[in-house]
Amino acid sequence: MDAASWDERYRGGELVWKAGPNRFVAEELAGLEPSGRAVDLAAGEGRNAVWLAERGWEVDAVDFSAVALEKAGRLAADRGARLRTVHADLTLWAPAEATYDLALIAYLHLPWPDMAQILPRAAAAVRSGGTLLLVGHDAANPERGHGGPQDPRVLYTAEQVADLWRPYADILRAETVTRPVTLAEGSSRTALDTLVRAVRR
C-alpha cells in the first residue's frame, strides 16, 4: 500500500489500531529508563510513540501518511504528551547518525530490499548504549499463525533482522513470539511475530 492508500485507511474518525501500545513494545521497553530522544519508524496513529512520550521520552514519530500523523498529534494532545511528527517516506529518510537513544520499528512491512536499507540506517541513528527494538509479523505467520500480510515478500524472520543489526549492535533477543488474537465472534487465534532487541555498540 502506498501513502495515499494508507491516508484513505486512516481517514475515518476512529483509530484503526488501539490507542494503547503494542503489548511487546510495552513489555520490552517499560523497564527502560527514559534517557533522551526516541524515534518511532512507521509510527502510524502514534499508539507507541505517544506511550513513549508519556513515559518521558522526547519522541519523533515518522510516517508517510499525513493523515495518520495528524491523528497521532491529536492523540498526543488528548493525553498531554509532546510529540514531534515527521512526514517522510522511510525508504528515502535518513536520520543523522547517533541522534537517538531508542529506535522502535513496529509492524513495518516493505519488500525486503527496502527493509535492508532502512534497518541499518535505524541502527546507525542510535547512539552507543541505545536500544533498538523491532516487532513485526513473522515470515511463518501466513502458514502457522493468523492475520497480518500474506505476501511473503514483505515478511521477515528474526534472524534476517538480527543479521542486519549485528554490525552495529549486540543482539539481546531475536525470536518468534506468539500473540493471541480475539476475533469478532469471540474465538481466539494465535499470531506469530518477529521480535528483535539490540543494544548499540
pLDDT surpassing 70 at residue 18:
no
The C-alpha cell that represents 34 in the structure block: 527514559
Read off the pLDDT of residues 19-71 as tens digits, 9 standing for 90 and up.
689 999 999 999 999 989 999 999 999 999 999 999 999 999 999 999 989 99
3-state secondary structure of 106: strand
pLDDT surpassing 70 at residue 10:
no
pTM: 0.92
The fraction of the chain above a pLDDT of 70, given in percent, is: 91
The fraction of the chain above a pLDDT of 90, given in percent, is: 85
Q: What is the pLDDT of residue 2?
A: 63
Q: What is the pLDDT of residue 1?
A: 59
The C-alpha cell that represents 62 in the structure block: 515518522
Long-range contacts, 164-167 (Cβ 8 Å, 24+): 164/116, 164/119, 164/120, 164/123, 165/119, 165/120, 165/123, 165/132, 165/196, 165/198, 167/120, 167/123
Q: What is the pLDDT of residue 13?
A: 59
Which residues have a Cβ under 8 Å from the Cβ of 134 and sit 6 or more positions away? 104, 105, 106, 108, 119, 161, 194, 195, 196, 197
Read off the pLDDT of residues 130-167 as tens digits, 9 standing for 90 and up.
999 999 999 999 999 999 999 999 999 999 999 999 99
